[in-house]
Amino acid sequence: MHAPLPPSAPLLSLERITKRFGPHTAVDGVSLDLAAGEVFCLLGPSGCGKSTLLRLVAGFEAPDAGAIRLDGADLTALPPHRRPVNMMFQSYALFPHMSVAANVGYGLKGLSLSRRQAAERVENLMKLVRLEGFEARNPDKLSGGQRQRVALARALAREPKLLLLDEPLGALDRTLREETQGELRAIQRRLGTGFVVVTHDPAEAMALADRIGVIERGRLVQVGPARDLYERPANRFVAGLLGDVNLIEGRLGPDEPGGLRTVETALGPIRASGEGAAGAAVVVAVRPERLGLGGAGGLPGTLLEQTFLGDRIRSRIAMADGSVLRASAALPMTEPMPNVGAAVTVAIPADAARVLPA
């Protein structure tokens, strides 16, 4: 599919990129446009081809078909050292035989900067990533978070219009990761550099990205802001990738004015939004936090289990047909929760139910 064009002329544009490794197609006809200054996350499980796509843009791999354009100029045939994009590596790839300052300044050679300008640029970068005073250190004498910042400064040294980041926070522990996400966004806003971030972590993609592109087995299956993807996933894969979801199988009813459709399921008819041919096998996707427990007019079920998670309570409800739905309610709650084993009703609001292809 082709993602909708951002309002201004695209900074990066991928045109039907395909890359095969032997019989395996790693990237399959991906087309994508990126606006200047945008943070775009490529999200998918490991081995889905997202890193290969990044390496194609950087020039470490050559596509079997398609074209890569930056600011209208065709990059496809250029070797990596002639491409005006820079990359931050997952392993950071800091040069072990050079000091932090030499690492950060490595890309400045050949930029026709005077010695003083280059030194100034390194100094500013060290300030930007808050590593002043670490210039003479060796990279192995730094903590993981510091190494990550050196890698970022080094990749930004040539002031690229587009920075490629391969799992930039993958090697950091959880608390550091959240802090670094904020810093990364702040630096990006300040410099206005376009970011393409590869990640397998949906929370990270949602925290960082203006838009997310979900990749499934080499194909770009959906592109959009995190909220669109979460609330209106294109298929079960996207729905499940971005968070927990209840999937209820059924058959789609006829087209109706107003956009809502009725899906006949084993639980009874469910009103949901979405498209498809009448009579098609579909699933209805509902996020656990949108399921309402109790109240009149809901579907009957039995409360199986309740788990207290601090900020919310998760419940599992056995339905009449034997299937199990998951509900999640935010705390504190205004109404008391029913006891385990009690009969409950489950309400599925029409605006929370999405029709997806089965």
52 forms part of the interface with another protein (CB under 8 A): no
Q: Contact with another protein (CB under 8 A): which of 67, 89, 217, 302?
A: 89
157 forms part of the interface with another protein (CB under 8 A): yes
Kindly state the smallest distance separating residue 96's Cβ from another protein, in Å: 5
Residues near 51 by beta carbon (within 8 Å), at least 6 away in sequence:
90, 166, 167, 198
158 forms part of the interface with another protein (CB under 8 A): yes
Kindly state the smallest distance separating residue 171's Cβ from another protein, in Å: 13
Residue 289: DSSP 8-state: G
Q: Is 323 exposed, middle or buried (0-12, 13-18, 19+ CB in 10 A)?
A: middle
- Nearest-angstrom CA–CA distance, 107 and 289: 48
Backbone angles phi, psi at 197, to 5 degrees: -110, 125
- Nearest-angstrom CA–CA distance, 358 and 284: 9
- Give 109 or 116: the residue with its C-beta nearer to another protein: 109
CB atoms within 10 A of CB 45: 12
For residue 254, cis peptide bond before it (omega within 30 degrees of 0): no
332 forms part of the interface with another protein (CB under 8 A): no
User: Please, what's the b/e burial string for 261-277 (b: 16 or more CB within 10 A of its CB; e: otherwise)?
Assistant: bbbebebeebbbbbebe
Q: Contact with another protein (CB under 8 A): which of 106, 145, 146, 210?
A: 106
Q: Would strands 162-166 and 194-199 be described as parallel, antiparallel, or unpaired?
A: parallel
> Rule CB under 8 A: which of 57-86 touch another protein?
58-60, 79-81, 83, 86
Q: Contact with another protein (CB under 8 A): which of 96, 254, 257, 310?
A: 96
112 forms part of the interface with another protein (CB under 8 A): no
- Give 59 or 224: the residue with its C-beta nearer to another protein: 59
Footprint of another protein (CB under 8 A):
58-60, 79-81, 83, 86-87, 89-91, 93, 95-97, 106-107, 109-111, 154-155, 157-158
